[in-house]
Amino acid sequence: MKNVLTIAGSDSSGGAGIQADLKTFSAHGVFGMSVITAVTAQSTRGVFAVQDITPEMIEKQLEVLFEDIPIHGVKVGMVSKSETIRTISKVLAKHQEIPIVLDPVMVSKSGYHLLEPEAKEALIEELLPLAMVVTPNLPEAEVITGSRIENLEEMKTAGEKIHGMGPGFVLIKGGHLKGEVSTDLLFNGTEWTAFPNLRIETKNTHGTGCTLSSSLAANLSKGLSMEDAVKESKAYITKAIENSFSIGSGPGPVHHFHQFYDIEGRVNEND
């Protein structure tokens, strides 16, 4: 079994962050481990408070894992402070043979800023060059590049600019564009590959970015090519969104274990 590590924040509502990552790892048949960067007070209504873990504790979590356990993939999510980013980068720079998936979490769906403004440059300068693939949505890509994105051509321009900052691949997600079809674009430095999907009408999309990036880390840990890993991860998140459900008054989570049981907990005997 492959061992995959998530470095991210905790979501007390269970739909995103560390909780979504570990559920996704389990659904993919890999062993999940976690280094927690922050604890959030969060419900389906939004993020109400954040308490960061100290850089010293983050570094210690990383050190003891890498010293003891073979790690086959890493996903990096919420990293809110410059000191946190530099600490994580210092450790991961020693392990660049491992596929690293960077999900540049910046703002929650409710509008809470999860990345401090002064930390943006640290993320661009320290973490982006270490990533095998970075997975920004359009608002995140706009923050990274400083450019507005309103169509596929502008997505490509932004993706090329982000690729120039150092990651091996850029998967820029088009879910914020209007239209019946939502298209994600993968750039390898020379060519683009499009992954279109019919848009699924639901408010229950909490944790989609975390889940997709964790799925990518799991698939890459198994040795899949980047294009195949994206294809498999897109299929997984699409089904998870199709089977999403409400648990509170705000956006609910996707169903991470849709292939095993339905939302009533009944075992899916067809798979």
- Give the C-alpha separation, 64 to 183, whole Å: 40
Residue 232, C-beta contacts closer than 8 angstroms, at least 6 positions apart = 215, 219, 224
Q: Let me know: does 75 contact 5? Beta carbons within 8 Å.
A: yes
The terminus-to-terminus CA distance of the chain in angstroms comes to 20
Task: Return the bridge partners of 267, or none.
Answer: 261
Q: Residue 265: helix, strand or coil by DSSP?
A: coil
Q: Let me know: does 17 contact 9? Beta carbons within 8 Å.
A: yes
170 φ, ψ to 5°? -125, 125
> Which positions are catalytic?
173, 205, 207-210
